[in-house]
Amino acid sequence: MRSSSYSVMPARALRAVLVLALTAAAAPAAHADTAPAPALAAKPYMGWSSWSMQSSKYPGLNPDGDYSYLTEENVLKQTDAMAARLKKYGYEYVNIDAGWWRDTTWKPEFDEYGRQKADPARFPGGMKTVADRIHAKGLKAGIYLPAGLEKEAYGAGKVPVRNAEGCTTADIVYGDLRTTNGWDSSYKLDFSRPCSQKYIDSQAQLIADWGYDFLKLDGVGPGSGKSGDQYDNVADVAAWNKAIAATGRTIHLELSWSLDIGHAADWKKYSNGWRIDTDVECYCNTLVSWENSVDDRWDDAPAWTRHAGPGGWNDLDSLDVGNGEMDGLTKAERQSYATLWAIAKSPLYTGDDLTRLDSYGLSLLTNREVIAVNQGETPPARPVTPSDPQQVWAARNPDGTYTVALFNLADAPAAVTADWSTLGFTGKAAVRDLWNHENLGTYRNKVTQALPAHGSRLFTVTSYGSALTTTAHEAESPANTLGGNASLADCSACSGGKKVGNLYAGGKLRFNDVVVGKAGTYWIKVAYVSGDARSVDVSANTGGALRHRFPSTGDWGTVGTVSVPVTLKAGSNTVTFDSGTGYAPDLDRIDVPKSS
């Protein structure tokens, strides 16, 4: 993972693209003859962000030094390109990232009240002019700020706070000048002192007066690689929420970066979006690379799935799939990248150069069926099989269909199967390929696809079959056998109020007398609890074990499910979950289909 050091040099300084969506006060009531304005963040936002190109060493992007790409001229070029090529598909936010108040040596500009001020070389027209130009294209303007009072704005504690008589920068921070945010580039604001809220109020009013519709607040903790009281910025986020509401302008506040899931309730209460992971950019000679760190999202997204919904979304970071060679990915990787972002209901904001999208990239960014998965009422998908190299993600849609994605995350081609029993039904189902706009026909019990390395498919599945019937086996049943350290524990979220935990260093749970009517491979649904991703060996009878990695459920009080294939004989069987030499998830129950 990468470390960041915002105040020393831009490369480390601005590694975090976290988008925190803070909501403003409700819009005035609409007239009786007009439709009400849509709620803020009713669906994931779509747009463009400057950071991917700013941070890349791709030849020609930053000719005047690191991070020099960010200029008024370049932002407006991207604005024009978005308006012409992507606006009709729902892309609307043009987001200016870090550095707009700093020159190419990273020296900052501040106004007389300690607020960030546009660097005159980068943005000669000023930030209001840029917002006005963006709005003139029918788009929305986004801006960026780090959490806390930037050190350079402190001015020996003598800088006055606007519209706050008697308040100076000495009155808004802790007396020991403790630092905060992901790079320790700011002094921590002390919100027990009324002047601190006044300072945030003045920053919010400034960006509202300029006409900005979106704020990315970066370096927010807990998270962003830091822990401890001085890096807890929940009070800052609450202050921004209050300040934005007081401006009377609707402003989407997005939090960045790699937020602590233990504070998900705070991020949901005070904002409209939160980054869940480190930067997707590779800080190399392309925009991203598969290993650093596009592929991390398949492991990290599942824990957050239940927290996403209208008003606030899990942010997977920039979607850089439009520029071909500059993206640094294969075509298969670009499609998988876009597929995960769509089904996870992440905001769809690209960091690509919109003036030179290749035809394949444009087709990925403008596929209306895939965009509809992201923007419609489809809930976020999550894995229905373990987080193995071949995996299936799915969501049941309000109309009764299923969104189903197949992923081969291995470095070689492999087949991936979506068995209908993992979706909760058996029999026939129609399959539509969303990327290719093609009806593939009717499949019985499953669909299998051969996928290239890092490849994917995305389907809508319409069931014509019947609901799956299963037999439940509780982990705490006295009929089971515990081995090693395994033991019973209370679990309020578990189906029987109990679970089996301490499955580590040889701890195991054996379900006895698992009866099925005929021999075959059964997809057994496993209910489990795991605050992090953990692996377990699964075997039946005396057969060999297969090791599966279960994704995190988010914490140690939340139950998740995945289905694992197990070969059973007709009649009575044993099914064993063995931690091996590592740590396995806690187990709640298994549900065994009544027929294969």
Is the predicted pLDDT of residue 10 greater than 90, yes or no?
no
DSSP SS3 for 240 = helix
Beta strand pairing call for 508-516 and 571-578: antiparallel
Q: Residue 257, preceding bond cis, omega within 30 degrees?
A: yes
Indicate the residue type of 503.
Answer: L
Looking at the chain, the whole-number percentage of residues with pLDDT higher than 90 is: 93
For residue 78, the surrounding DSSP H or E stretch is: helix 72-85
Task: Answer yes or no: is pLDDT of 8 > 80.
Answer: no
Mean pLDDT of 463-470: 97
pLDDT of residue 25: 34
Indicate the pLDDT class of residue 35, thresholds 50, 70 and 90. low
Q: Report, as an integer, the average pLDDT of 576-585.
A: 97
Tens digits of per-residue pLDDT, 295-337? Answer: 999 999 999 999 999 999 999 999 999 999 999 999 999 999 9
Mean pLDDT computed over 418-430: 98
Residue 447: pLDDT band (50, 70, 90) is very high
Q: Please list, residue by residue across 331-363, b when 16 or more beta carbons sit within 10 angstroms of its beta carbon and e when fewer do.
A: ebbbbbbbbbbbbbbbbbbbbbbbeebbeebbb
Residue of 458, 523, 528 lying closest to 494 (CA atoms): 528
Q: What angle do CA 243, 244, 249 make, to 5 degrees?
A: 140
Place of tokens 């960041």: 4
Q: Is the pLDDT of residue 126 over 80?
A: yes
- 393-412 pLDDT, tens digit each: 999 999 999 999 999 999 99
Name the β-bridge partners of 56.
none
Distance CA 255, CA 217 (A): 5
d(CA 194, CA 435): 53
Mean pLDDT of the residues in the chain: 94
What's the pLDDT score for residue 39?
A: 87
**Residue type present at position 487:** S
Residue owning tokens 């019985």: 444
Are the beta carbons of 246 and 212 closer than 8 angstroms? no
Tens digit of pLDDT for each residue in 376-395? 999 999 999 999 999 999 99
* Nearby residues of 120 by Cβ (< 8 Å), 6 or more positions away: 109
H-type alpha helices, 59-136: 72-85, 127-136
CA atoms lying within 13 Å on the CB side of residue 244: 30
Query: Would you place residue 22 in the very low, low, confident or very high pLDDT band (cuts 50, 70, 90)?
Result: very low
pLDDT confidence of residue 36: 56
* Residue pLDDT, tens place only, 522-563: 999 999 999 999 999 999 999 899 999 999 999 999 999 999
- CA dihedral of 237, 238, 240, 244, whole degrees rounded to 10: 140
The residue assigned the tokens 């070689």 is: 412
Task: Tell me how crowded residue 245 is: count the other CB atoms within 10 A of its CB.
Answer: 17
Whether the Cβ atoms of residue 164 and residue 199 lie closer than 8 Å to each other = yes
The alpha-helical segments, DSSP class H, found in 284-413 are 296-300, 331-343, 359-365, 368-375
Structure tokens at 274: 């939160």
Q: Pick from 528, 516, 523, 529: which is nearest to 574 by CA?
A: 516
For the cut 80, the answer to whether the pLDDT of residue 279 exceeds it is: yes
Give the number of residues written for the chain. 596
Please list, in sequence order, all residues whose beta carbon lies within 8 angstroms of the beta carbon of residue 432, skipping any fewer than 6 positions away. 438, 439, 440, 459, 460, 461, 462
Q: What's the angle, vertex CA 279, arms to CA 68 and CA 295, rounded to 5?
A: 130
Bridge partners, 142 (sequence order): 95, 214
* Beta-carbon contacts of residue 582 (< 8 Å; ≥ 6 apart): 504, 505, 534, 535
pLDDT category, 38, cuts 50, 70, 90?
low
Structure confidence by residue, pLDDT tens digits, 127-165: 999 999 999 999 999 999 999 999 999 999 999 999 999
